[in-house]
């Protein structure tokens, strides 16, 4: 019996079309086996099991059998063709097949996306600027002030009715995002004047008064940290119910003992400084890694399979699922969020593919013991029972994905160790705003 004939057509560097012709004798043999199997099992009036003639089986089961044989032949020959040509397929094949005709060959095409072949060039000469990790006294003071704020007592404001910056205001509000369905909430606490952009809701409350009923428009910046809000406008109907002021505890040894688990304020300041220095080093390490990634991406442009980008996009959208608006607006919000997150997803996939290539060239090997140790570390970080976390990684695909991530991390660490580094002062990062938590439960 002749083997199927396969031709490979290059559509793009990562998109191929397989054209397959299955010989007529192979199609006929597969049809014969299928009809024989059905004939032995079928119960037809007037015929004993296994005795119904082929024409009767053709009339009753022919269309269904031919569809099943078509699917089976395509699946078998497609996988054989992929293996024969050594194709790293990442997508579900787009099959275009002719119906099976007895006595004739089966012809079909399968269009697939492939993992790109990345020809790594010279990775020497990378240079980065390492942000400063110096922590100043003002950074320590800012953190201690935030600690005081977190345990502040709220006292009702009785001697005035006008809202001032720093007041904690209790409001009932209804919000609509880009004219969508309203979301109503009662008893929301916001700090007046604390918004991170000029028209933030919190800022617009300053100067209003107790009992006011307001309609406020909040246009969120295009670069807002929450993709579900970025570039959109929220309309708020606000009723100011109550004003409160914050009463901060004194910053002294008692504060250190009660809220910092330290014996003295001096000890608390030292611990805060140590924590901030560790965070600064972590941010500096991240910044160095990002600079390296930008440089190696610039040196190695390549096409990224759309299939992988869409998978990653859906994973990112799912991570924002709890912040999407309910009911009628949900599908629209998902579509908007998907478009905003797709460029991020494409870059993530591109980085992973490139680091995979670096790890492969460096012959990076991650042992089973290292994978197991990482699983235990993940359980510790996420405060999970180790046995439960190990069970999650029992699946071969999950374990393989973790091993690949560890190999990428090791490849990037090797690049970091090889670069030239210069130091630069780093500005302290702006603390995140609470504005988005007020806006739309994102």
Q: What token pair was written down for 222?
A: 């295009």
Q: What is the pLDDT of residues 205-245, one digit of tens each?
A: 999 999 999 999 999 898 887 777 888 899 999 999 999 99
Mean local confidence (pLDDT), 89-108: 92
Residues 364 and 393 in one domain: yes
81 & 209 share domain: no
CATH code: domain of residue 216: 3.10.50.40
Q: Same structural domain for residues 200 and 312?
A: no
Q: Does residue 145 lie within any of the structural domains? A: no
Residue-wise pLDDT for 313-354, tens only, equals 999 998 887 766 665 567 777 888 899 899 999 999 999 999
Rounded CA-CA distance 284/430 in Å is: 15
Give the number of other Cβ atoms within 10 Å of residue 190's Cβ. Answer: 22
The answer to whether residue 367 is domain-embedded is yes
- Domain assignment present for residue 54? The answer is yes
Mean pLDDT of 258-274: 95
Mean pLDDT value across the chain = 88
Residues 416 and 269 in one domain: yes
Does a structural domain hold residue 296?
A: yes
Last residue of a domain, one of 82, 98, 113: 113
**Does 428 score more than 70 pLDDT?**
no
235 and 270 in a single domain? The answer is no
Alpha carbon distance 312, 306 (integer Å): 10
Q: Which residue segment(s) compose the domain that 29 sits in?
A: 5-113
E-assigned strands of 23-86?
Answer: none
Look at residue 391 and tell me if it is in a domain.
yes
202 with 299, same domain?
no
Could you tell me if residue 375 is inside a domain?
A: yes
CA 387 – CA 376 distance, rounded (Å): 9
Q: Is the pTM of this model over 0.85?
A: no
Most confident of 321-330, 392-401, 429-438: 392-401
Residue 346 pairs in a beta bridge with none
Final residue before a domain boundary, out of 212, 247, 282? 247
Residue 186 sits in the same domain as residue 281 = no
Angstrom distances, CA of residue 209 to CA of 155, 161, 165, 202, 243: 17, 5, 12, 13, 9
Helix (H, G, I), strand (E, B) or coil at 79: helix
Say if residue 167 is in the same domain as residue 295: no
Q: Do 419 and 298 share a domain, yes or no?
A: yes
Are 242 and 271 in a shared domain?
no
- What is the percent of the chain where pLDDT is above 90? 67
| Residues 6 or more apart whose Cβ sits within 8 Å of residue 359 | 407, 408, 410, 411
- Assess if residue 53 is contained within a domain: yes
The whole-number pLDDT of residue 235 equals 92
Which of 247, 281, 315 lies at the terminal end of a domain, its last residue? 247
What pLDDT is attached to residue 433? 35
pLDDT at 415: 93
* Residues 5, 208: Cα–Cα separation, whole Å: 79
Nearest C-alpha neighbor of 84 from the set 2, 168, 174, 8: 8
Two tokens at 46?
């007037």
Would the pLDDT of 1 be above 70?
no
- Whole-Å CA distances, 57 to 30, 50, 63: 15, 11, 10
Task: Tell me if 128 is assigned to some domain.
Answer: no
How many domains does the structure of the chain reveal?
3
What is the distance in angstroms between the CA of the first residue and the CA of the last residue of the chain? Answer: 62
Q: What is the pairing mode between strands 233-247 and 153-156?
A: antiparallel
C-beta of residue 174 within 8 angstroms of C-beta of residue 184? yes
Shared-domain flag, residues 279 and 389: yes
E strand spans, 102-163: 106-113, 127-131, 153-156
């Amino acid at each position: 019996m002749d083997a199927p004939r396969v031709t490979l057509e290059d559509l793009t560097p990562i998109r191929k079309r397989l054209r397959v012709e299955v010989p007529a004798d192979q199609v006929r043999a597969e049809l014969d086996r299928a009809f024989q199997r059905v004939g032995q099992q079928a119960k037809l009036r007037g015929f004993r099991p296994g005795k119904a003639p082929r024409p009767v089986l053709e009339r009753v089961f022919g269309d269904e059998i031919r569809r099943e044989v078509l699917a089976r032949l395509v699946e078998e020959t497609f996988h054989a063709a992929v293996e024969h040509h050594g194709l790293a397929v990442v997508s579900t094949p787009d099959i275009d097949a002719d119906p099976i005709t007895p006595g004739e060959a089966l012809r079909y095409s399968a269009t697939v996306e492939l993992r790109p072949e990345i020809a790594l060039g010279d990775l020497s000469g990378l240079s980065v600027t390492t942000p400063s990790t110096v922590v100043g006294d003002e950074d320590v003071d800012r953190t201690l002030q935030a600690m005081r704020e977190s345990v502040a007592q709220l006292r009702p404001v009785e001697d005035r009715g006008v809202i001032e910056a720093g007041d904690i205001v209790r409001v009932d509000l209804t919000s609509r995002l880009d004219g969508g369905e309203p979301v109503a909430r009662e008893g929301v606490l916001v700090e007046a004047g604390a918004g991170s952009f000029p028209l933030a809701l919190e800022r617009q409350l300053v100067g209003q008064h107790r009992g006011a009923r307001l309609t406020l428009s909040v246009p969120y910046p295009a670069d807002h940290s929450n993709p579900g809000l970025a570039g959109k406008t929220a309309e708020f109907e606000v009723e100011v119910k109550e004003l409160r002021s914050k009463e901060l505890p004194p910053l002294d040894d008692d504060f250190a003992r009660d809220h910092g688990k330290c014996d003295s304020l001096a000890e608390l300041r030292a611990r805060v400084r140590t924590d901030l220095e560790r965070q600064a080093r972590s941010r500096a390490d991240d910044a160095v890694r990002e600079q390296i990634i930008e440089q190696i991406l610039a040196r190695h442009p390549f096409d990224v399979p759309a299939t992988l980008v869409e998978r990653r996009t859906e994973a990112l959208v799912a991570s924002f699922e709890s912040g999407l608006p309910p009911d009628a607006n949900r599908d629209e919000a998902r579509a908007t969020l998907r478009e905003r997150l797709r460029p991020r997803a494409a870059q993530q996939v591109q980085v992973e593919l490139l680091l995979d290539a670096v790890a492969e060239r460096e012959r990076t090997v991650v042992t089973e013991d290292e994978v197991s140790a990482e699983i235990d570390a993940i359980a510790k970080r996420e405060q999970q029972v180790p046995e439960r976390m190990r069970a999650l990684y029992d699946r071969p695909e999950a374990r393989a994905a973790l091993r690949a991530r560890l190999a990428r991390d090791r490849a990037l660490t090797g690049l970091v160790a090889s670069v030239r580094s210069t130091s630069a002062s780093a500005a302290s990062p702006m603390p995140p705003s609470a504005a988005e938590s007020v806006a739309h439960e994102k």
